[in-house]
Structure 1
């Protein structure tokens, strides 16, 4: 098979479906009641932006104006999704219907992750990490709503072998893009010590297990990354990982696997540049990828990863409780979600939406992208 080619809009003479028509797209044909739509139109608009996103990622950095334009477009796409796909709702979601919203989440994550490169100023890198973690938390909430045993799970069409267990349904519909997107989100959430969201992501990946080959590779890398993270956390509770260039390279994951985004070996075939930049170096970075030397060794398995992240989350929550209950105690380093529901970080909704609303003021138009 040949390499797939993206189709340019100007090469087509077929109109896109309109929202007024889309509400009548159903599997069995009858016209639905109300204004419920399918995610088809939203998916089309997301995919249309991929070509321009790919070209944008070839630049060393992405300008604020370009980021705002993409954000405006992605927010517009999200608004056209049915309500159950929105990241901060608490509605039940069929595990097999994830693909459309994951396309959007993955595109948004790749966009902002590009600026965590050391070629960007510190303030730009920090802002990029904020957006990445916000997107990862949104993904974690979506996954949590898919994985829980919600009351009407038995009303879903049966999955393989008649199994309606949400985890089995989730695994049956998981593709490579979903696995790699959740893996990227998990790295970012662990890095920022958002252990509640990271746990939801790890449980989703663990449910897929070895069904997908790429998922086993993701698990091996997560095991490696988690051990490196634990070694840092044991040294100091107040460590600033974003000033540790070795950990920044590890959290960038597959960015180091392409010539467009890789910076680990930039200007140094031996990796000495990274060694000089990292203030807390503990192990050498060898091979063409951060965890190259781990590939041929045994790893602990998903059970160990899930157990370790659960313990980190429990310790974090207990520490936050003890500090809150101490009259003269200091505030905790970060907000820890205390609810047991699927909405993992409701406290982030206001600040994040305020930050993203600035995209509406961009002087560029969506037409400059599509």
Structure 2
């Protein structure tokens, strides 16, 4: 154990020395600056790409025949999860609003506490002691008079973010969601028109508004607020760092810059959009990992010894430093094996800056609040592996991509299981649901959703149920999570179709282009790298996008299956108005049905029948033709249906 700690200490020292060396070389060189971790990463990637053509390798996809029903299904069941290239979002303009009365002090106290326990943990852009002191002055004077528009906007932006992870029972009047939306609209109205002068306060408010909008599924508006925050930070010349700022102001600027940076990197990876901040523009030291109350004008917190391991916000900075080179790799249509190997090594090295409990094979207690940091790492691996699911990859590369995605998903399930069995801290007073709600975010929901799809696709049902347990616990805390539940239920219905038709073996599913398109999930949200939209009309009306398919198509054909009914009534599908909360419960029930069917087929003895040309010889029937369990008894299949045998078994 001591040797491991020594290696980790040396790794941290090497990273710090490399960073200092990079800054010194930047001052005396006219070349683009290189930061600590990109130097080593680019060297490895250049070695990995040795002998290949420079730049990303983009290859055009061919049009997939008989794929209209697949496109329709993806467009229908992706609503609320990801945007397809067709969709045009329409939003009502927010009318100008004059600040009215100050919110009740009890509401502020509750929402502020929620903000500190959730948003502030991962994006500490606001120095809370300073902000709390200013809030106290406002409540003492009982008016916003004397406060700048930027500060009032920041005040309501904090409350809006505080409403993201709260329960409606704590609010006195409106539900939490409507209360948060009202706070958000108030903040946006106060900040319009935009100020003529740059200010840290406006950048802080813009960042928080981008977080609220994105987490509330107003993603296009959220990206605009994030871009505004980044541009304001650049206009303030926060980077490159200078020594003329007071201690507290300098730390606030560092935290603001890196909060915008981390948010920019995560959103860019999730949406396949360009990054706003250039990696070469990050000539600024990392923020302190101390709590806000220790950052005071007369304190010497910057001179304190740096921890050997990092958690929370600072850990996310270290991990997302790899997102920029990863983004360059993902511009290619296919990721080369040597590039995969190189990034695997880089991502494994990132684990060294995390505590021992964060290691994949650790037996130490693992708290659920550490999941967002781990998901930040696992999500990067998943996106990289998933790129090779495209039709441009050969069967071997596609099988390897699925295997790697399953490996990431299984690691995800292990971390979730460890967090589930970790007893809560005695002084926290929070149950499992409250602790999960504190870490709920679109990033967490989407990563769990991708893992569940891949695990079910490959028959890893136990691990899928572990991930589903966390998604079901999140419930309606995030709108995206509800939409993910609908999508999983739809995907499982298609899996049952394959089981019913005898086309559910691993080899068959890996060659099933329709199922591969579904399991690729939000990879189809990028027009540049999606393949299902090739040859499709991207200017179709919104009414067409929301139209539900009238019949289920049989696999591999374009003919509707009028007689093939799903194993459940799709209560959570967009085609009806049933409650959305049952989708995750329905999905869990369907996964258990698939588990039972898999166990039934694996334990049942093989069936034989005498072939007509040789009555003595017995030919084994393919096990795939067994029907899955159905809620109601169906008529027995025709002899032609039961006599389907596998060609491989005949041979």
Task: Establish whether TM, by shorter chain, passes 0.5.
Answer: yes
| CA shift in 2, pair 1:36/1:58, >3 Å | closer
Report what 1:341 is aligned to. none
Q: What is the aligned partner in structure 2 of residue 120 from structure 1? A: 393
Aligned to 2:574: 295
**Equivalent residue runs for 1:327-366 within 5 Å:** none
Task: Determine the C-alpha separation between the residues in 2 that align with 1:130 and 1:182.
Answer: 17
- Distance apart, 1:195 and its partner CA: 0.2
SS at match of 1:312: helix
Equivalent residue, structure 2, for 1:153: 424
Matched with 1:308 is: 590
- The CA distance in 2 between the partners of 1:235 and 1:279, in whole Å, is 8
What's 2:521 paired with?
253
Measured against aligned partners, the alpha-carbon deviations of 1:45-97 in whole angstroms (never above 9, x if no partner) come to: 32111122223222211112221221111011123321222233343321122
Pairwise CA distance, 1:315: 4.5
From 174, 193, 205, the equivalent of 2:459 is 193
Q: Is contact 1:133–1:185 with CA below 8 Å preserved after alignment?
A: yes
- The correspondence for 1:38, drawn from 304, 307, 310, is 310
Give the equivalent residue in structure 2 for 1:14.
284
Mapped partners of 2:367, 2:583: distance in 1: 27
Render the CA deviation track for 1:117-168: whole Å, top value 9, x for unaligned.
10111111111111111001000111112223x4x4243x52xxx4x32233
Alignment of 1:103-118 (within 5 A): 103-118=376-391
Given the alignment, which residue of 55, 64, 69 partners 2:337? 64
The total of aligned residue pairs comes to 295
Match of 2:324 among 36, 51, 58: 51
Q: 1:280 aligns with which of 545, 556, 567?
A: 556
Once residues 90 and 234 of structure 1 are traced to their aligned partners in structure 2, the CA distance between those partners, rounded to angstroms, is 41
The corresponding residue for 1:84 is: 357
In the alignment, what sits opposite 1:363?
none
Q: C-alpha distance in 2, partners of 1:185/1:2?
A: 28
Tell whether the 8 Å contact from 1:57 to 1:260 is kept in structure 2 after alignment: no
TM-superposed deviation, 1:44: 2.4
Q: Distance in 1 between matches of 2:559 and 2:367?
A: 43
CA distance in 2, matches of 1:266, 1:188: 24
Q: Cα RMSD over matched residues?
A: 3.3
* CA gap 1:167/1:87 in 2 versus in 1, 3 angstroms: farther
Query: Equivalents in 2 of 1:77, 1:96: separation in Å?
Result: 19
Which residue of 2 is the match for residue 143 of structure 1? 416
Q: Supply the distance in 2 between the matched residues of 1:103 and 1:133 (Cα, whole angstroms).
A: 17
Shift of 1:283: 7.0
Report the counterpart of residue 166 of structure 1 in structure 2.
432
Aligned-partner Cα distance in 1 for 2:286–2:378: 22
**Any unmatched runs of 5+ in structure 2?**
1-224, 228-263, 265-274, 295-300, 302-306, 539-553, 561-569, 606-622, 625-651
Distance across 2 between alignment mates of 1:306 and 1:105: 23
Match of 2:23 in 1: none
CA–CA separation in structure 2 for the residues paired with 1:264 and 1:108: 23
Which shifted more, 295-304 or 112-121? Answer: 295-304
CA distance in 1, matches of 2:318, 2:556: 44
Closer/same/farther in 2, CA of residues 2 and 175 from structure 1, 3 Å limit? closer
CA deviations on 1:190-233 (whole Å, 9 max, x unpaired) are 00010011001111110011110000110010010011011112
- Secondary structure at the counterpart of residue 505 of structure 2: coil
- CA distance 1:283–1:207, shift in 2 (3 Å): farther
Q: Per-residue CA shift, 1:305-324, capped at 9, x if unaligned?
A: 1122133334445665778x
Q: Which residue number corresponds to residue 612 of structure 2? A: none
Residue by residue, what CA displacement relative to the aligned partner does 1:18-45 show, whole Å, maximum 9, x if unpaired? xxxx9xx565989xxxx87233564323
Using the alignment, how far apart are the partners of 1:199 and 1:98 within structure 2? 17
SS in structure 2 at match of 1:14? coil
Q: Distance in 2 between matches of 1:36 and 1:48?
A: 18
Match of 2:156 in 1: none
Q: Are the counterparts in 2 of residues 96 and 169 from structure 1 also a CA contact under 8 Å?
A: yes
After superposition, the Cα gap between the structure-2 partners of 1:43 and 1:244, relative to the gap in structure 1 and judged at 3 Å, is same
Distance 1:130 1:124 in 2: 10
Gaps in structure 1 of 5+ consecutive residues: 271-277, 285-290, 324-331, 334-370
Show structure 1 runs of 4+ deviating over 6 A: none
Structure 2 Cα separation of the partners of residues 46 and 229 of structure 1? 35
Q: Secondary structure at the match of 2:392?
A: coil
> What does residue 233 of structure 1 align with?
499
Aligned partners of 1:90 and 1:281: how far apart in 2? 49
